[in-house]
Structure 1
Amino acid sequence: MDSVDLPQLWSAEPGYLNTASFGLPPNRAFDALQAALADWRAGRTSWEGWGASTERARQSYARIIGVDAADVAVGAQVSQLLAPVAAAVPDGATVLVPELEFTSAVFPWAVHADRGVTVRTAPADRLAERIDASVDVVSFGLVQSSDGAVVDYAAVVAAARAAGAMVVVDATQACGWLPFDGSLADVVVTVAYKWLMSPRGTGFIYLSEAVRERTRPLAANWYAGEDVHGSYYGLPLRLAKDARAFDISPAWQAWVGTAPAMELVEEIGVAAINAHDVGLANSFLAGLGLPPGDSAIVTVDVPGADAKLTAAGIRTAVRNGRIRASFHAYTTQADVDAALNALAG
């Protein structure tokens, strides 16, 4: 699909440079959600059709990150999805995370301090060299929320394997624009409302078979049953034999908007989205006289930037006192030029 045509698939108003906070729905996803809401309002349908969207999205996520759908569970938020994994680490385990990691991927480990679990930090760009035999788990955002830095995935995985440590990846700020092989990790968690441009409240976790074997599905429920429709009532416990045992029951309408958004990502191709997004990010950096990078998220320190951009109707975010701008499939060169003009003014 020609990248020139990409923005036509959305209804974004000019000046939105904040996908790292939340993505904008493709028209097909927004329309599907509106139809589901209308059916809900009028009581025109049963829930099973909405539920089918959850399975479509699961399959799509598996294809996007290169894993088997049987190894993917669905949920709502990073912390919820990580909770059973963190609960399964041994007493006294050491978890290594980046210094400025988003807390939803840190707190699930830190709450186990009472049983001796220690969370150790390191600079994101030195994570691999800080992994040694004392580290049991290395958990990190593949793309850092605070500044858009892309962690050296291959180096971290290699160091972790050499040390015998479990690899847990939060791909929330990466999945949808950054190609990567999820199967290299033990766990890959992603919520879909950012770069997968879905309604808030849908997410996924890839769990390797080895991780599942030592992890208890603490939120066991009817939707996690081997036969969903035969698991409504009573004992015995009869959970799915694969990662579906870790599912939580889906927020139906949100999944209706998630499946078509993710399928569009597949249709365009993550590599093509990467070229579009990083190209615009680098155009923005070049306009500020800064060297190019490898991320769709950039942070810059320009005096008065927040006020200048806000006055011009450019929507970005502020993180650690710096402007964070993020560029996605619906972003145009005109958006970049408008932001640069505002900052120059």
Structure 2
Amino acid sequence: MELASAQKLWDPEPGWLNTAGYGLPPRPAFEQLQAALDDWRVGRILPDGWDTSITRSRTAFARLVGVPVDDVAVGSATSQLLAPVAAALPAGTRVVAPVGDFSSILFPWLAAPGVEVRAVPVEELAASVDDGTDLVVFSLVQSASGAIVDHEAVVSAARAHGALVVVDATQACGWLPFDAGQADAVVVSGYKWLMAPRGCAFAYLAPTLRERLTPYAAGRYAGADLGQSYYGPPMRLASSARRFDISPAWFSWVAAAPALELVAEIGVERIRAHNVALANRFLTGLGRPASDSAIVTVDVPGAQERLARVGVRAAVRAGRVRASFHVYSTPADVDLALDALTDM
């Protein structure tokens, strides 16, 4: 699908520059969600009628990140999907992570008993991996700054020293192409660049890692046969990554499926080129050097107040204004922000 045609499927008010906070749904996702809510209100559909959305979403996600669909688990939040990984770490495990990374990729290891976490500058992450490292964790795109971690360099360093790799691609998946299969686990919250409602999250879990994990949160949706998993015992879990699924928030997934399918139809490379071009229009308009990210941060006196006066919605992270651009963003959005920030 051409980008110009795709953009007609969104209805943003001018000035939304905060997809790193949450993404805006394409019209098909919003309309399917409204239809599901109407069905719920009057009892028009049986619960299993919404389950197809989970299958569609899982399939679309696997396609986007280049992994087998059987290696994808679904849940509600990235930290929840990382919990079984953290629970499997023995005391004495040594973890290396970036300083200032997002809490969801850090807190599970900090909470794990007896696990040692060493935080290093993000640009030194690959060089900090050594023979004493058991696990490397990081966000592929840093939430606070938009910096893109050198994924291949970190993975290469980890493999050279026998360390596992866990990646949070929440701020990347949907605009930045990457190969999830290089890592042992990759988690993504769907409500940002994948433009799903909050309550949708995905995890790629490599088969060799899954062998070490216990599905403590297993319920019916982790069963080998959903139709035969209502009651027990005995235990009869799926042999795939589905054994780590939790019961889905149906309505969130109803909207997730068409949103992810649309991202795949447009193409992540095409979205990346569009997003980065707008981000660089913003940066160069402020006299800053161009970057390779769809998330940028700037220091401008009174920036938050100036943007708010003209209706631009951006975020403040780590004391700086953070602007983020996606498929529905336009040059007019950028220029609106630039006019506000350069009007002295």
TM-score by length of 1: 0.98
- Choose 5-14 or 37-46, whichever is displaced more: 5-14
Residue of structure 1 equivalent to 2:201: 203
Residue of structure 1 equivalent to 2:3: 3
Residue of structure 1 equivalent to 2:280: 282
Q: Which runs of 5+ in 1 are unaligned?
A: none
Q: How many angstroms does 1:272 deviate by?
A: 0.3
Q: Within the alignment, does 1:328 sit opposite 2:326 as a pair?
A: yes
CA distance in 1, matches of 2:165, 2:6: 34
CA distance in 2, matches of 1:218, 1:109: 17
Q: How many angstroms does 1:105 deviate by?
A: 1.0
Q: How many angstroms does 1:7 deviate by?
A: 2.5
CA distance in 1, matches of 2:57, 2:141: 22
Q: Which amino acid aligns with 2:71?
A: D
Q: Which amino acid aligns with 1:24?
A: L
Q: Which runs of 5+ in 2 are unaligned?
A: none
Q: Which amino acid aligns with 1:21?
A: G
Matches within 5 A, 1:110-189: 110-112=110-112, 114=113, 116-189=114-187
Matches within 5 A, 1:66-145: 66-112=66-112, 114=113, 116-145=114-143
User: Aligned-residue CA RMSD in angstroms?
Assistant: 0.7
Change in CA separation of 1:25 and 1:13 when aligned onto 2, cut-off 3 Å = same
CA distance in 1, matches of 2:216, 2:118: 26
Q: How many angstroms does 1:124 deviate by?
A: 1.0
Q: Within the alignment, does 1:63 sit opposite 2:63 as a pair?
A: yes
Q: Which amino acid aligns with 1:294?
A: D
SS at match of 2:44: coil
CA distance in 2, matches of 1:242, 1:198: 24
CA distance in 1, matches of 2:155, 2:102: 20
Q: How many angstroms does 1:316 deviate by?
A: 0.1
CA distance in 2, matches of 1:137, 1:119: 9
CA distance in 1, matches of 2:207, 2:68: 11
Matches within 5 A, 1:208-287: 208-287=206-285
Residue of structure 2 equivalent to 1:22: 22
Q: How many angstroms does 1:240 deviate by?
A: 0.4
Matches within 5 A, 1:45-56: 45-56=45-56
CA distance in 1, matches of 2:85, 2:22: 26
Q: Hey, which bits of structure 1, 4+ residues long, moved more than 2 A?
A: 1-7
- Deviations 1:79-128, CA, capped at 9 Å, x for gaps: 1010001111121101111101111111111111x3x2011111111100
Q: Which amino acid aligns with 1:95?
A: V
Q: How many angstroms does 1:2 deviate by?
A: 2.9
Q: 2:304 aligns with which of 299, 303, 306?
A: 306
CA distance in 1, matches of 2:340, 2:8: 24
Identity %: 59
Q: Within the alignment, does 1:317 sit opposite 2:318 as a pair?
A: no
- Deviations 1:295-333, CA, capped at 9 Å, x for gaps: 000000011100000011000000111000000000000
Q: Which amino acid aligns with 2:107?
A: F
CA distance in 2, matches of 1:20, 1:88: 31
CA distance in 2, matches of 1:119, 1:218: 24
Residue of structure 2 equivalent to 1:36: 36
Q: Which amino acid aligns with 1:130?
A: S
SS at match of 1:216: coil
CA distance in 2, matches of 1:127, 1:210: 24
Q: How many angstroms does 1:49 deviate by?
A: 2.1
CA distance in 1, matches of 2:204, 2:90: 20
CA distance in 1, matches of 2:307, 2:8: 24
Aligned residues: 343
SS at match of 1:33: helix
- Deviations 1:111-164, CA, capped at 9 Å, x for gaps: 11x3x2011111111100000011100000000001000000010000000010
SS at match of 1:106: helix
Q: How many angstroms does 1:60 deviate by?
A: 0.5
Quick check: 1:24–1:197 contact (8 Å CA) kept in 2? yes
Quick check: 1:7–1:332 contact (8 Å CA) kept in 2? no
SS at match of 1:9: coil
Q: How many angstroms does 1:6 deviate by?
A: 3.5
CA distance in 1, matches of 2:319, 2:9: 33
